[in-house]
Structure 1
Amino acid sequence: IKKISEDMVVSLAEEFGVKYHWEGDTVRFKGAGAKGRMTVLPQQVDLKMELGFLLMPLKSKIEKSIIRRLDECLS
């Protein structure tokens, strides 16, 4: 699961221009207008992302992209 999560984070980092680092089972990311964390647990992936004012109009697109990638990676 961590390898799949790493692949997804790398892809999202490239798409949205964020930097990230792992702290145990949690990856923290931060970029221009967005920050958050994703924790990989045995039965689930817990994701929290905060968008800045400038990215709020793209919220729906970002959510759909993350959900699609999670579905692809975890199916």
Structure 2
Amino acid sequence: MPSIDIRHPHCQSHDDARAAVEHVAEKIQERFSIDCAWNGDALEFNRSGVEGEIRLLPSEVHVVMRLGFMLSMLRGPIESEIRRYLEREFS
């Protein structure tokens, strides 16, 4: 599966960073119709053709997304949109 791997720095408290990740997840859910659930400090998501997680680390957010064949053709726009959401929430 082709994948997206994004590391975005942050300097927020754990609670503020977790809230920001939830805002990013809401946008991703709206845009891509995925299901999300927290597992510790990782927000795991999946739907047909995509799975991954947004892991909250002390100084960065790490997004890993594995795309199926059909969504792999949209890898660039999907990655750009996720980067835009992260920039908005963590800047």
Matched, 1:33 2:72: no
Q: In 2, distance between residues paired with 1:12 and 1:63?
A: 11
Q: In 2, distance between residues paired with 1:2 and 1:61?
A: 25
Q: In 1, distance between residues paired with 2:49 and 2:41?
A: 24
For 1:19, the equivalent position in structure 2 comes to: 35
Return 5+ residue gaps in structure 1 as ranges. none
Q: Which has the higher contact order (CA 8 A, sep 6+)?
A: 2
1:37 is displaced (CA, Å) by 0.7
1:66 is displaced (CA, Å) by 0.4
1:41 is displaced (CA, Å) by 1.1
Return 5+ residue gaps in structure 2 as ranges. 1-16
TM-score normalised by length of structure 2: 0.80
Matched residues, number: 75
Task: Name the larger-Rg structure.
Answer: 2
1:25 is displaced (CA, Å) by 0.7
Does the aligned pair in 2 maintain the 1:25–1:40 contact within 8 Å? Answer: yes
| RMSD over equivalenced CA pairs, Å | 0.7
Q: In 1, distance between residues paired with 2:58 and 2:76?
A: 28
1:10 pairs with 26, 44, 58, which one? 26
Could you list the runs of 4 or more consecutive aligned residues of structure 1 that deviate by over 2 angstroms after TM superposition? Answer: none
Code of the aligned partner of 1:21: A
Q: In 2, distance between residues paired with 1:46 and 1:57?
A: 22
1:24 is displaced (CA, Å) by 1.2
